[in-house]
Structures are given as C-alpha cells and as structure tokens.
Amino acid sequence: MLIKVLGSGAGGGFPQWNCNCANCSGLRAGTLAARPRTQSSLAVSDTGEDWLLVNASPDLRAQLESCPALQPARTVRDTAIAAVLIVDAQIDHSTGLMTLREHTRRLPVYCTPSVHSDLTGGYPLISVLEHYCGVDWRPVDAIGRVPFEIPEISGLTMHPIPLPSEAPPYSPRRHNPAEDDTIGIVFIDQSSGRRCLYAPGLGEWTEPLIEEAERADCLMIDGTLWNDTELMEQGAASKTGREMGHLAQSGSNGMLDQLARLRGRKILIHINNTNPILDESSPEHARLVTLGIEVAYDGMEIEL
C-alpha cells in the first residue's frame, strides 16, 4: 500500500490567508521553524498506477501539480485518479471536487448517504458536477461498517467507521449530526494484511475506534488543535475544539493519552495553523518526538 500526503493542514491551510497568529506571522517572516501546509487530503494506491483521492481539498490543483504520479500524461487529457472518497462534507474536504470538473468520464465518488445529502443540498457540489463530468455516487455504509473496494485499486479493501464529530454549518444536522456525517477509513492491503487508519476529524474516542487503532500498523489521526481552547485564547474563534468536533492533543483523555499506548506508526494530520506543534523548535513538538508521534507534512510518503 502506498500513501501520499497531498495536504496535511486543517481548513485554511498554513499560513491561513487572513491569519496573523504567531505561527502564520512567523512562517511568513521566515522566523518560524516550520513548513507551509495545504488543506488535508491523501492519495492511496496498491500499485502506484491508479490512485484513490481521499478528500478533495480546495488546494487540489496545487497538490496535483506537486505529485507527478497523479498526472501520468498517457493521453492529451489524463489523470491517475480512479475515484474519490470523501470522509465528511466539510468545505476543506470536498471543495476540490470542482477542480475535477473537466474529468473525461463520470467521476466515481464514494461517501455516506449523509455526506451525499449535504453535497447535493446545502453545499450542492455533486449536483453542479452533473452539468460537467457527472458523478457516479457509490454509497458507503459506515453505520453497518460494510467493507468496500475500488475496482481500479483491487489490492486494497476499505473499512468505514463512524466518528463522533460535527456536521458542516450548512447541514440541517449541524448540532444533531447523523452517525455517518463523519467517518474514518481503515485501508487494508490484501496481500500483506497491513492496515492504515485515517481519521482527520474526531470529536472523541469510541470503543470501535480504539479497537481499530490498536490493530493499525499506521494511524493518521486528527491533529487539529493542541488544546481545546487554543482558538479562543488566540482570538481566532469563539468555539472550543470539541464544539467544532475536534479532540485536542493535550489535556485529560486527549489525543496523546490514547496514542502513546498504541503499537503502530502514529501520525497527526489535519493540523490547524494555530497549533504549536507546527513550530519544530517548540516544546510541544519536542514532546511528540519523545512519544514517537509524527507530524504529517505535504509530500510525506508512506509505504505499508
């Protein structure tokens, strides 16, 4: 199994276009030991020929330009993207669908019924694409945890898992999310049996999630915030992380408490621009190193 991190940042990327927090200002000034990050997205493959795009971020065009494997140039109009998998209907995970409108055939899009309802209703990207390349929706049954495969990527099996989080602001379920509004995905290599759990949005640990995390050879998990009140303390927002559907790394029963005891490779992804772990000289980043926890970056490659 091959995994390419196309984008490792949270919504807005890093630096965020209108943000002057210490991180964003320091990165622009060249005084921060950090690297820029686009918004969260992966490409996953079994052979390196055809790829599954996992989330389509607003930065997708730049991400494709930086990843030659996704543009094999076999014909005048070509792509190695065989299908798209959307784990939630948030803007930072779905807006890039519009970038794919010139696709030369109907675009296979895998998502849950709740995500599909938002992407044809409150944020109707899929409806708009019907006037361009068209979309073949492939429903993902996360509530039943039904495994599925992508025909062009036959060496991998995907297992969906519901995650507690918030529905998008434009969703009718905003403060009463459905069980399948946000999901994680376990990618399983059929030949080796190795497993990667991807969960970029997570409001709390559940027993099924803990079970999957304990089995994972690689865990790529929500790294949005260092502490729950981080955005409020920096004057960047009026909500806590939990109110936005993200479990912070620090604090009682935070992300680090759970990750420290897991055997697999542990990688934080979907990192907000305010998070001190972006500063590679910070004590928070040093603590991650001590715990054996990595911070995802754009261009990171993983082979399992």
Which of 122, 152, 128, 155 minimizes the C-alpha distance to 138?
Answer: 152
CATH number of the domain located at residue range(s) 2-298 in this protein: 3.60.15.10
Quick check: 224 and 243 in contact, CB under 8 A? no
Give per-residue pLDDT as tens, 25-84: 999 999 999 999 999 999 999 999 999 999 999 999 999 999 999 999 999 999 999 999
pLDDT at res. 231? 82
pLDDT at res. 160? 98
The alpha carbon of 290 is separated from its chain's Cα centroid by a whole number of angstroms, namely 25
Give CA angle at 161 (292, 276), nearest 5°.
35
Count CA within 13 A, CB hemisphere, residue 138: 18
**Cis peptide leading into residue 15 (ω within 30°):** yes
Quick check: 94 and 55 in contact, CB under 8 A? yes
Amino acid letter, 8:
S
pLDDT at res. 244? 79
C-beta pairs of 232-238 under 8 Å, 24+ apart in sequence: 234/21, 234/22, 234/274, 236/19, 236/21, 236/274
Quick check: 8 and 269 in contact, CB under 8 A? yes
Give per-residue pLDDT as tens, 217-253: 999 999 999 998 888 888 877 788 788 789 999 987 7
Q: Which tokens in the block code for residue 130?
A: 């019907």
Give per-residue pLDDT as tens, 101-145: 999 999 999 999 999 999 999 999 999 999 999 999 999 999 999
Residue 271 CA to residue 292 CA, distance in Å, equals 17
pLDDT at res. 294? 98
Give per-residue pLDDT as tens, 183-201: 999 999 999 999 999 999 9
Residue 268 CA to residue 219 CA, distance in Å, equals 8
Quick check: 298 and 8 in contact, CB under 8 A? yes
